[in-house]
Amino acid sequence: MEEDLKKKIDAYINENKGKRKFAQSVELAVNFKGVDFSKPANRLNLAIALPNGKGKGGGVAVFADSLDIIDKANALGVKVIKSPELASISADASKQHELLSYELIAQPSLMPQIAKALGQFLGPRNKMPKPIVGTSIEDMVKNVSKSIYIRSKGKYLPTVHCMVGTEKMSTDQITENVDAVINTLAKQLGKHTLRSIYMKLTMSTPMKIL
């Protein structure tokens, strides 16, 4: 199946790429069968590390007061947000929306303050920061930069959407990323639940790949 999948992806990307003034995202729509997502036990809440990354991103921001974390974040080029800044961010809609362009992580001890100041904004958007627990900030930054998040939400329809790269990535890279998503979903819910999978570029017509 993988070689056939690669051929479909290659044909689709080559036909549709380069038609916009920006690098279009490559997106998947996965449709399920026989799964009732209204039941809490069936709902998806997955973090999937794409083997080749997302191909783009607004970077990572860390909420931190610890000098050790701040020093390491600065060395990695990560935006640092200190706890005294939370009040001004919570009072400024533009600053809140700016956060949405980052993958967010946090010093664990600051999570209660973040939840109080920004939970109402970040929570419904599935953007609450992930606490730096059991790993180094270097590994955390690497992981969140490459990861996508698939969650059941809204009316719990039997479909999910996610980004798997950009049109500038090679067919091999995109295929490996698509394969990672399919394998993760199949492992979580069973391969028999995958009704169909469509691929599309941001401004292009979808194509069925599975």
Domain contains 53: no
Phi, psi (rounded to 5 degrees) for 197 = -135, 130
Residue 184, in any domain of the structure: yes
Check residue 101 and give its pLDDT.
86
Nearest of 76, 137, 84, 77 to residue 106 by alpha carbon: 137
Q: Which distant-in-sequence residues (6+ apart) come within 8 Å of 53 by Cβ? A: 145, 146, 165
pLDDT for residue 57: 63
Tell me which residues of the chain have a pLDDT lower than 70: 1, 57-58
Q: Which residues contact 50 (CB under 8 A, 6 or more apart)?
A: 146, 147, 148, 164, 165, 177, 180, 181
Given this model, what pLDDT does residue 58 score?
63
Cα(126)–Cα(170) distance, integer angstroms: 29
Q: Is 171 buried (19+), middle (13-18) or exposed (0-12) by CB count in 10 A?
A: middle
The domain spanning residue 105 has which CATH number? 3.40.50.790
Q: Is 70 a domain residue?
A: yes
The CATH number of the domain holding residue 179 is 3.30.190.20
Work out whether strand 103-106 and strand 130-131 pair parallel, antiparallel, or are unpaired: parallel
What pLDDT does 34 receive?
Answer: 95
Which pair of structure tokens corresponds to residue 134? 């059991």
Residue 56, both tokens: 């783009």
What pLDDT score was predicted for residue 198?
A: 97
C-alpha span between 106 and 77 (Å, rounded): 15
Examine the domain organization and report whether 67 and 21 are in the same domain. no
Residue 192 has a pLDDT of 95
pTM: 0.79
The pLDDT of residue 124 is: 86
